[in-house]
Amino acid sequence: MTRTILIFNCGSSSLNYRVYQAYGEGSLELLAWGKAYHVANQTEEKSYLLHHFRGVEIRQPFPCPNHRDAARGILDYLAGEGLEFNLIGHRFVHGGSQFHQSTLLNAETLKQLEGINHLAPIHNPNTLSVVYCCQERFPNIPQYAAFDTAFHFGLPEFASQYALPYTLAERFGYRKYGFHGLSYQSVSLSISRHLDTPVENLKIVACHLGTGGSSVCAIDRGRSVETSMGYSPLPGLVMSTRSGDLDPAIVLDLIERQGFTPTQVNHILNAESGLLGIAVRTSDLLELFDLAE
């Protein structure tokens, strides 16, 4: 039995997609792929869609003020090419403490995901918007979610626990979740194949350097043992619009002395900081290289 599967990978400032033909023996054939660039992001270059199908690359100027509109543009293109699907999959950044494996999206699981939007405020809501877009277009096609946090679920306690009052951390779920897990799992398996060595015999330091988010992970015998992101995707490395690590006293000062609301501070740290905060004009690294010349 063959199936056609559409996969969406929703980043903070991009939307990737792949269309696969899945065969009964488990093999996959890539039919089409593409990406929406500069989604809901401030850059010198305007947003656009890039499609690859039947050996042809098409660059399509397309307004992408949000991920839902980007998904509509992608679905319209695929429909115009006559591609139909049996299944749709989505990458979710945060699964909270509820989701540790791939999950069918239904009314119950979608309600649970809505309840943890605050854990990844510039990721999970965007991915949910793409899910709902697909649900409107294809109400009878099953949709599944895979979670970046699942790979890090077994982090050792010394890496996952914050130095907070234990009862407080337990009550509110304050722990290091880790992110980019699907990427790290794929990298681990690729390195294993390249070195012809079982992943259980490898110790790896892997870097995920994305257009929106970046992190580092230590992987011991196929398991995550430390990673730079934490309770949310905000800490760690400096990213395109996220601050990365900073003194928490700065957050307190912005709220207590400077008069910013928590919502405003959240937006500053997630959407106005990082490379954009430093460079002001753009958060795109390639554009920054051009401006520096």
Residues serving a catalytic function are 148
Written as one letter, the residue type at 146 is A
Compute the distance between CA of residue 246 and CA of residue 231 in angstroms, rounded to an integer: 14
Compute the distance between CA of residue 200 and CA of residue 44 in angstroms, rounded to an integer: 45
Written as one letter, the residue type at 59 is R
Residue 71 in tokens: 């998904």
Q: Which residue has the tokens 């194949």?
A: 193
Q: Which residues of 177-216 are buried (b: 16+ CB within 10 A; e: fewer)?
A: bbbbbbbbbebbeeebeeeeeebeeeebebebeebbbbbb
Compute the distance between CA of residue 95 and CA of residue 112 in angstroms, rounded to an integer: 9
Helix-helix angle 262-271:248-256, to 10 degrees = 140
